[in-house]
Structure 1
Amino acid sequence: MLSDLTLDARVTALLAIDLQHSNVTRQLAPYAADDVVARTVALADTLRDKGGLIVWVRIDVNQLLSLPADRPLTRAPGAPAMPPEASELVPALGLQRDDIVIVKRSWGAFHGTDLDLHLRRHRIQNVVMSGIATNFGVESTARAAFDRGYRVLFAEDAMSTIDAQMHSFALTSVFPHIGRVRSVAGLCESMK
């Protein structure tokens, strides 16, 4: 079925975007946050077992929400800061010693971080995208990965967002132009 796709796990990285407390407590569509986390863990376990790199990306929510006043994500004056755990990855991910954690301060994981440096040092050619939210952090990071010459793959059922239409639009109108869209099962099956 997926004979058109073979991934060498040794040059492949999973970029799991924003699977942190502030996002997994939200109402998401088309997939619940618990399902996204579980499928991402399955993908990470398979890739790790075959010699791939796992990168967990989290956003510093308070930094994102403290943008200049003319930016739409700014919080109301005097609003309390988000609790510190809001920006922390959920324990269910099962981080391992050799996994990499990137802290970002905007939607995209490449801007202002050392993500590209880590990927280049590990000779990564392929990046598999998962996370919350499909059309925000995942899409922004995927576009930057494509611009940097990485082969981009999307784990369609290991990402979700605030509206099923937004998810569908990204999967059908954006992602096919910059990479390949597959299920977690299909991606795991393609790893050699």
Structure 2
Amino acid sequence: MTQALSLDPKTTALVLIDLQHGIVGRELAPYSGSQVVENAVRLAEATRAAGGTVVFVRVLLTELLQRITDAAPQASNAPPPPAIASELVPEAGVQAGDLVVTKRQWGAFYGTDLEQQLRRRGIRTIVMAGIATHIGVESTARAAFDQGYDLVFIEDAMSTMSAEAHQNCVNGVFRLMGHVRSTQEYVEALGRAV
């Protein structure tokens, strides 16, 4: 049986990874981009209402760190993505009080002011969601874990290119780093906290 989630909203930040035009519309599993965004909106609304911090992270796709790897390389003659590909989708519902962090690699900590913004607000718990589970979400979570943050992973508010890769992360990594919960379980936990 899963233990009830106990949160202090004032020291909790919801970190939403790469809910942007160039990523949300991709073929994803086990949840579609629109399902992830819909759940992210619920998470953000509940977090704001409880007095927590909401952080949207986006990656500049035209400046994304590229490395030579064993994976199939991108065609060198492929045109760069349009500027809008790096913009957050309007459906995500970014509000004036939310933080927006811009990154140029998979993880949201390196080379950004995310750590400073969280520490200034006294954040101790990071709630993770977004796209892609095994890339941006996992990279950010590993850095957060190494820095001593408590972690909560919202399983139905993240997705990636295959259901298998998603489940490997959720069951093989995230459960070792923190708590894995659903959108509804997180919203209910915040409701008990206020």
- Do both proteins adopt the same fold according to a TM-score greater than 0.5, normalized to the shorter chain? yes
Partner of residue 149, structure 1? 148
Aligned-partner Cα distance in 2 for 1:161–1:120: 29
Moved runs in structure 1, 4+ residues, more than 2 A? 1-4, 70-79
Partner of residue 28, structure 1? 28
Quote the sequence identity (%). Answer: 49
Aligned-partner Cα distance in 1 for 2:13–2:90: 20
- Alignment of structure 1 residues 39-50 onto 2, 5 Å: 39-50=39-50
SS in 2 for 1:82: coil
- Alignment of structure 1 residues 18-167 onto 2, 5 Å: 18-64=18-64, 67=66, 70-71=68-69, 75-167=74-166
The alpha carbon displacement at 1:93 in A equals 1.1
Counterpart of 1:44, as a letter, is A
1:177 aligns with 2:171: no
SS in 2 for 1:107: coil
CA root-mean-square deviation: 1.5
Partner of residue 5, structure 1? 5
Could you tell me which runs of 5 or more consecutive residues in structure 2 were left unpaired when the two chains were aligned.
Answer: none
SS in 2 for 1:131: strand
- Tell which deviates more after alignment, 147-156 or 2-11: 2-11
The count of corresponding residues between Structure 1 and Structure 2 is 190
The alpha carbon displacement at 1:158 in A equals 0.2
The alpha carbon displacement at 1:24 in A equals 1.0
The alpha carbon displacement at 1:79 in A equals 2.3
Aligned-partner Cα distance in 2 for 1:81–1:155: 32
- Note if contact 2:22-2:85 (Cα within 8 Å) is conserved in structure 1: yes
The alpha carbon displacement at 1:74 in A equals 5.7
- Note if contact 1:67-1:74 (Cα within 8 Å) is conserved in structure 2: no
- Note if contact 2:59-2:102 (Cα within 8 Å) is conserved in structure 1: yes
Aligned-partner Cα distance in 2 for 1:90–1:183: 22
Could you tell me which runs of 5 or more consecutive residues in structure 1 were left unpaired when the two chains were aligned.
Answer: none
Aligned-partner Cα distance in 2 for 1:28–1:145: 25
Counterpart of 2:137, as a letter, is V
Gap change, CA 1:77 and 1:3, over 3 Å in 2: closer
SS in 2 for 1:165: helix
Gap change, CA 1:49 and 1:2, over 3 Å in 2: farther
- Note if contact 1:102-1:115 (Cα within 8 Å) is conserved in structure 2: yes
